[in-house]
Chains A and B, each alone.
Chain A
Amino acid sequence: MVEAQTGCRVSQKRTNWIGRSVQRLEDGPLVRGRGRFVGDIAFPHQLHMRVVRSNHAHGKIVSVDVEAARRLPGVVAVWTAADIPDIPPVDFREGRIEKLEPYRQPVLATERVRYIGDPVAAVFAQDPYVAEDAADLVAIEIDELPLVLRADQDPGEFSPGRNTEAAIVRQGYGDVAAAFQTAAAVVELDLSIGRHSGVPLETRGAIGVYDAARDILELHGAAKVPHRNRDLLARMLGRPPSSIHVHESHVGGGFGIRGELYPEDVLVCVAAMRLGRPVKWIEDRREHLLAANHSRQQRHKIRAAVSRDGSILAIDDEFFHDQGAYVRTHATRVVMMTCGILPGPYRVPAYRAIGHFRLTNKTPAATYRAPGRFETTFVRERLIDAIAAKLGVDPIEIRRRNTITAQEMPYARPLEALGEEIHYDSGDYLGLMDKVLARAGWDAERKNAQRRRAAGELVGVGMAMFVEKSGLGPADGVRISVDTSGSVEVVTGGASLGQGFETVIAQVCAEILSVDYRSVRVVHGQTDRIEFGIGAHASRATVMTASATHAAALKVRQKAIDVAAELLQAPLEALDILDGRVVRVDRASGPSISLGDLAANLAPTAKGRGGREPGLTAEGWFHVEHQVYPYGSHVAVVRVDRDTGSVAIERYVIGYDIGRAINPMLVKGQILGGFAQGVGGALMEEFLYNDRGEPLCVTFADYLLPGLQQAPDVDVLLTEEAPSPLNPLGIKGAGESGITAVGAAIASAIEDAIGIPGAITELPVTPQRLKQILDSRRETSPTLCRRTTGEAHA
Chain B
Amino acid sequence: MSDKVEVRLTVNGRDYAILVEPRKTLVDAIREDCGQTGTHIGCEHGICGACTVIVDDEAVRSCLMFAVQAAGRRIRTVEGLADGDKLHPLQRAFMEHHGLQCGFCTPGFLMLAANALERNPDIDDEELLDVLASNLCRCTGYQNIVKAVRAAAMEVRGARADVGRR
Contact between chains at A676 and B141 (CB < 8 Å): yes
Within 8 A of B (CB), among A23-39: 23-24, 26-28, 30-37, 39
Identify B102's interface contact among A34, A201, A284, A666, CB under 8 A.
Answer: A201
Q: Write out the residue numbers on chain B whose beta carbons fall within 8 Å of the beta carbon of A31.
A: 78, 87, 91, 94-95, 100, 103, 106, 110
Q: Write out the residue numbers on chain B whose beta carbons fall within 8 Å of the beta carbon of A254.
A: 102
Say if the beta carbon of B154 comes within 8 Å of chain A: no
Contact between chains at A285 and B43 (CB < 8 Å): yes
Q: Write out the residue numbers on chain B whose beta carbons fall within 8 Å of the beta carbon of A707.
A: 133, 136, 142
The interface on chain A, measured as residues whose beta carbon lies within 8 A of the other chain's beta carbons, has a size of 60
Q: Write out the residue numbers on chain A whose beta carbons fall within 8 Å of the beta carbon of B82.
A: 32
Contact between chains at B43 and A699 (CB < 8 Å): yes
B106 to chain A, nearest CB (A): 6
Contact between chains at B79 and A32 (CB < 8 Å): yes
Contact between chains at A700 and B45 (CB < 8 Å): yes
Contact between chains at B140 and A672 (CB < 8 Å): yes
Say if the beta carbon of A255 comes within 8 Å of chain B: yes
Given known A-B contacts A669-B144, A714-B143, A202 and B136 have beta carbons under 8 A apart: no
Docked Cα-Cα span, A37 to B106, in Å, equals: 13
Q: Write out the residue numbers on chain B whose beta carbons fall within 8 Å of the beta carbon of A169.
A: none
Contact between chains at A35 and B21 (CB < 8 Å): no
Question: Which of A311-319, A431-439, A492-500 is found at the contact surface with chain B?
Answer: A492-500
Q: Write out the residue numbers on chain A whose beta carbons fall within 8 Å of the beta carbon of B38.
A: 32-35
Identify A33's interface contact among B23, B36, B133, B139, CB under 8 A.
Answer: B36
Say if the beta carbon of A602 comes within 8 Å of chain B: no
Say if the beta carbon of B146 comes within 8 Å of chain A: yes
A654 to chain B, nearest CB (A): 11
Given known A-B contacts A201-B48, A202-B40, A708-B133, A33 and B79 have beta carbons under 8 A apart: yes
Within 8 A of B (CB), among A745-761: none
Say if the beta carbon of B26 comes within 8 Å of chain A: no
Given known A-B contacts A32-B38, A129-B1, A252 and B102 have beta carbons under 8 A apart: yes
Within 8 A of A (CB), among B1-56: 1-2, 21, 23-24, 31, 36-45, 47-48, 50
Q: Write out the residue numbers on chain B whose beta carbons fall within 8 Å of the beta carbon of A241.
A: none
B77 to chain A, nearest CB (A): 7
Given known A-B contacts A39-B41, A40-B37, A129-B24, A675 and B141 have beta carbons under 8 A apart: yes
Contact between chains at A708 and B129 (CB < 8 Å): yes
Flag A528-552 by CB within 8 Å of B: 1 or 0 each: 0000000000000000000000000
Say if the beta carbon of B122 comes within 8 Å of chain A: no
Nearest B-chain residue to A199, judged by Cβ: B138
Say if the beta carbon of A200 comes within 8 Å of chain B: yes
Flag A94-121 by CB within 8 Å of B: 1 or 0 each: 0000000000000000000000000000
Identify B101's interface contact among A35, A36, A203, A498, CB under 8 A.
Answer: A498
Does more than half of chain B's interface fall in helix, strand or loop, or is it mixed? loop
Q: Write out the residue numbers on chain A whose beta carbons fall within 8 Å of the beta carbon of B23.
A: 129
Given known A-B contacts A251-B102, A253-B138, A500-B101, A33 and B39 have beta carbons under 8 A apart: yes
Within 8 A of A (CB), among B87-122: 87, 91, 94-96, 98, 100-107, 110
Docked Cα-Cα span, A24 to B95, in Å, equals: 7
Identify A700's interface contact among B107, B129, B136, CB under 8 A.
Answer: B136
Docked Cα-Cα span, A677 to B105, in Å, equals: 15
Docked Cα-Cα span, A74 to B21, in Å, equals: 14
Q: Write out the residue numbers on chain A whose beta carbons fall within 8 Å of the beta carbon of B37.
A: 33, 36-37, 39-40
Contact between chains at A665 and B42 (CB < 8 Å): no
Contact between chains at B50 and A201 (CB < 8 Å): yes
Q: Write out the residue numbers on chain A whose beta carbons fall within 8 Å of the beta carbon of B100.
A: 27, 30-31
Docked Cα-Cα span, A28 to B36, in Å, equals: 17
Identify A285's interface contact among B44, B77, B138, CB under 8 A.
Answer: B44
Flag A671-695 by CB within 8 Å of B: 1 or 0 each: 0111111000000000000000000
B38 to chain A, nearest CB (A): 2
Given known A-B contacts A200-B102, A202-B102, A677 and B36 have beta carbons under 8 A apart: no
Identify A250's interface contact among B103, B133, B143, CB under 8 A.
Answer: B103
Say if the beta carbon of B132 comes within 8 Å of chain A: yes
Q: Write out the residue numbers on chain A whose beta carbons fall within 8 Å of the beta carbon of B145.
A: 708
Say if the beta carbon of A588 comes within 8 Å of chain B: no
Given known A-B contacts A23-B95, A33-B77, A705-B136, A250 and B39 have beta carbons under 8 A apart: no
Docked Cα-Cα span, A33 to B87, in Å, equals: 12
Docked Cα-Cα span, A714 to B143, in Å, equals: 9
Q: Write out the residue numbers on chain B whose beta carbons fall within 8 Å of the beta carbon of A699.
A: 43, 45, 47
Contact between chains at B47 and A37 (CB < 8 Å): no
Say if the beta carbon of B137 comes within 8 Å of chain A: yes
Within 8 A of B (CB), among A284-307: 284-285
Docked Cα-Cα span, A509 to B109, in Å, equals: 33
Say if the beta carbon of A133 comes within 8 Å of chain B: yes
Given known A-B contacts A201-B48, A285-B45, A700-B45, A669 and B140 have beta carbons under 8 A apart: yes
A706 to chain B, nearest CB (A): 8
Given known A-B contacts A31-B95, A37-B40, A708-B129, A253 and B77 have beta carbons under 8 A apart: no
Contact between chains at A32 and B136 (CB < 8 Å): no
Docked Cα-Cα span, A712 to B21, in Å, equals: 43
Q: Write out the residue numbers on chain A whose beta carbons fall within 8 Å of the beta carbon of B78.
A: 31-33
Q: Write out the residue numbers on chain A whose beta carbons fall within 8 Å of the beta carbon of B39.
A: 33
Within 8 A of A (CB), among B43-88: 43-45, 47-48, 50, 77-79, 81-82, 87
B7 to chain A, nearest CB (A): 15
Say if the beta carbon of A709 comes within 8 Å of chain B: yes
Flag A189-203 by CB within 8 Å of B: 1 or 0 each: 000000000111111
Q: Write out the residue numbers on chain B whose beta carbons fall within 8 Å of the beta carbon of A255.
A: 138
Q: Write out the residue numbers on chain A whose beta carbons fall within 8 Å of the beta carbon of B142.
A: 676, 707-708, 711
Identify A202's interface contact among B31, B42, B87, CB under 8 A.
Answer: B42
B64 to chain A, nearest CB (A): 13
Docked Cα-Cα span, A23 to B144, in Å, equals: 13
B32 to chain A, nearest CB (A): 8
Say if the beta carbon of A713 comes within 8 Å of chain B: yes
Q: Write out the residue numbers on chain A whose beta carbons fall within 8 Å of the beta carbon of B104.
A: 35, 37, 200-202, 250, 252-253, 498
Docked Cα-Cα span, A39 to B30, in Å, equals: 13
Q: Write out the residue numbers on chain A whose beta carbons fall within 8 Å of the beta carbon of B146.
A: 708
B51 to chain A, nearest CB (A): 11
Say if the beta carbon of A794 comes within 8 Å of chain B: no
Docked Cα-Cα span, A129 to B126, in Å, equals: 41
B133 to chain A, nearest CB (A): 4
Identify A27's interface contact among B2, B95, B139, CB under 8 A.
Answer: B95
Identify A252's interface contact among B40, B87, B132, CB under 8 A.
Answer: B40
Contact between chains at B136 and A201 (CB < 8 Å): yes
Contact between chains at B2 and A73 (CB < 8 Å): yes
Docked Cα-Cα span, A380 to B38, in Å, equals: 44
Q: Write out the residue numbers on chain A whose beta carbons fall within 8 Å of the beta carbon of B107.
A: 33
Flag A25-63 by CB within 8 Å of B: 1 or 0 each: 011101111111101100000000000000000000000
Q: Write out the residue numbers on chain B whose beta carbons fall within 8 Å of the beta carbon of A711.
A: 141-143
* B contact residues vs A (CB 8 Å cutoff): 1-2, 21, 23-24, 31, 36-45, 47-48, 50, 77-79, 81-82, 87, 91, 94-96, 98, 100-107, 110, 129, 132-133, 136-146
Give 6 closest A-B pairs by Cβ, nearest first: A33-B38, A498-B102, A252-B104, A30-B103, A33-B78, A676-B141
Listed by A's residue number, 28 A-B pairs whose Cβ atoms lie within 8 Å are A24-B95, A24-B98, A28-B95, A32-B38, A33-B79, A33-B81, A40-B31, A74-B2, A199-B138, A201-B50, A201-B136, A250-B103, A251-B102, A253-B138, A255-B138, A498-B101, A498-B102, A672-B141, A673-B139, A674-B141, A699-B43, A700-B47, A700-B48, A700-B136, A701-B45, A705-B136, A709-B129, A714-B141
Given A27-B95, A31-B78, A251-B102: 18 more A-B contacts, CB < 8 Å = A24-B95, A26-B103, A27-B94, A31-B95, A32-B38, A39-B37, A40-B31, A129-B21, A198-B138, A200-B102, A202-B40, A252-B105, A285-B44, A666-B98, A668-B98, A700-B47, A700-B136, A708-B145
